[in-house]
Chain A
Amino acid sequence: MAAADGGASARKEIIQTALILSGLTAFEFLIAFIWKDVGAAIGVEEEFAKLMKNLLFIILTLFKAFYIVAYFMHLKHEIRRLSVTIVLPFLFIIWLIIGLMLEGGYWGAGVDAEQTTLNKVEMVEDNA
């Protein structure tokens, strides 16, 4: 890695990555603050706008993760089999995410331990 140019190109890459990461984070802030108003201005349904916002945040996060791992952690410059060895196990994580997100809605269905029993008088009236 001791580059012939005294590390100038490596430093350039670092600065570029840093700028990208800062830019993405700043963009996330902007979204967090203005998304609601923009959505309202266009006339999008609130639930849908929220879903899109979250999706966008997750995509941006994955971008940031990629830049950190690839450039700061240098994985892009390691030989291929090392990077594959490290990245492949995360297929299991993807599987777990898909699994639990899909099943999460059914988990503990009908048993809501955290709902206090006192919340609503209306509930009582069903018995009456």
Chain B
Amino acid sequence: MADVSVDPKALSEGERPIFQASWGKLFMWFFLVSDAFTFSGLLIAYGALRVRAGSDGYNWALPEEVFTHAPILHEIFHIDAPLVFVGLMTFVLILSSVTMVLAVEAGHRKSKKEVQKWVFWTIIGGITFLSCQAYEWYHFISGTGIYYNAEDHRFESGGMMLSASLLEESQETAPKIVGLEDKKVIVFYPGGLEHFYENKIHGAHGGDGGGGHEEATKLGLRNGAEITNKGDIKKLLEHAHHSHDGSFVMKWDEVGKSGLEKILKKTGTTPADIASVKVYAQKSINGDTLRMVMRNGYEITYPSLIQTLKKPGVKVDQEGHIAKIEEDGYYPSQGGASMYANQYGRKAFANLFFFVTGFHGTHVFSGVILLIILYLNVRKGTYEKRGHYEMTEKIGLYWHFVDLVWVFVFTFFYLV
């Protein structure tokens, strides 16, 4: 570091600079070490939560599928391009790191013109990266839609933050309901289905709203039927089992006893009805459908799937297939971010994803501001007058650090 002269007298301790680097650079390093600890903490927390979630593949987002949109490919051709856009972002940041280090090198030769040129390109790289992230986040926030493949009754991610479990779930629920056909379980909801879920969504215990075991004035069934006759309710509850979520359950073979069949018949519920797939909507306070409950107990919270199922033409046949969606199609999400429901799969994943990529983006943003200041000063000749371009090195260190963090973020959020 021959360019950087350090006055030994300026050092309060020791006679010579033990690191042979200027205090400015040294403290930039120390700052970066502490910042690296911050990011390490976040990434390790992410790793630990993920280990905690288990490894059966249904509990966490599919990393490659986190963002599958790419400009033009998505808007015009409706093609999924997993990883492509994020990969582009990675290359942009690497390139901007290269131009930055070239600026630093030019600074060593005190070539004002070259420093100016390379810093300029670095700024362009930084702004490009931020724009890419804005595109990505815009799609996350506004909701990203879903593709429906009519041929094999399959729902595919249309580029969204998606947990594997949600994707599986939507594939499971829509075309095929497993388990229920042979089990034939009836579930009663005190206070009616809508009321029951209303309470669940607002955090109240499901059983409370409709009155407890004794005071229930209304029982709802999944098919929408309701039982209000006091005697019938009493009879049903005598045979039904209290379940852990506040509802009541009864096996179909228990129904045959003591005239329960008659009660159910009154509501229009038949055995065939029980085995068929029905979807029930749960409305939020502002009227949006928040979740749908499938006949077998699966819940759908994914907004565009809900939207799809709400289409007037959609009917579900007795084998449990969605019968009336005939076209392949792209169903744009009506949902996106909301205060009422989590659209982003596993909560721990979404929280850390947004926090860490956002925090990194904040670093890039600060970096761009620093680079702009650097650029203006280089142009003004500040560093020429000062006799060295050490500021380029310091900001360069910061910029490389941002690139370094992205290397890790990229690996852990989009690859592994």
Contacts and interface: CB of A to CB of B under 8 A. Distances in A.
Contacts of B404: 65, 68-69, 73
Contact of B293 (A21, A57, A118): A118
A125 B97 contact: no
**Range of interface residues on B (Cβ < 8 Å):** 35 or more
Interface stretch (B5-13, B296-304, B326-334, B372-380): B296-304
B97 A122 contact: no
B19 interface: yes
B37 interface: yes
Contacts of A33: 83
B297 A1 contact: no
A124 interface: yes
A10 B108 contact: yes
Given A22-B94, A117-B245, A57 B36 contact: no
A2 B3 contact: yes
Q: Is the interface of A mostly helix, strand, loop or mixed?
A: helix
Given A1-B2, A86-B29, A68 B97 contact: yes
Contact of B243 (A11, A73, A127): A127
A74 B400 CA distance: 10
Contact of A85 (B19, B52, B94, B411): B19
Q: Is the interface of B mostly helix, strand, loop or mixed?
A: helix
Given A72-B97, A121-B179, A121-B180, A107 B52 contact: yes
B314 interface: no
B177 to A, nearest CB: 11
A96 interface: yes
A125 B400 CA distance: 57
Contacts of B415: 28, 32, 57
Task: Identify the 9 closest CB pairs spanning chains A and B, nearest first.
Answer: A104-B51, A100-B48, A104-B48, A117-B245, A124-B243, A82-B19, A61-B411, A18-B98, A121-B297
Interface of B: 1-3, 18-21, 26, 29, 33, 36-37, 40-41, 44-45, 47-52, 55, 64, 83, 87, 90-91, 94-95, 97-98, 100-102, 104-106, 108-110, 179-180, 183, 185, 187, 200, 241-245, 249, 251, 293, 296-299, 346-348, 393, 396-397, 400-401, 403-404, 407-408, 411, 415-416
17 contacts: A14-B98, A18-B94, A29-B87, A64-B407, A68-B400, A73-B397, A78-B20, A82-B26, A86-B29, A93-B40, A93-B44, A107-B48, A114-B346, A116-B299, A119-B299, A124-B185, A124-B241
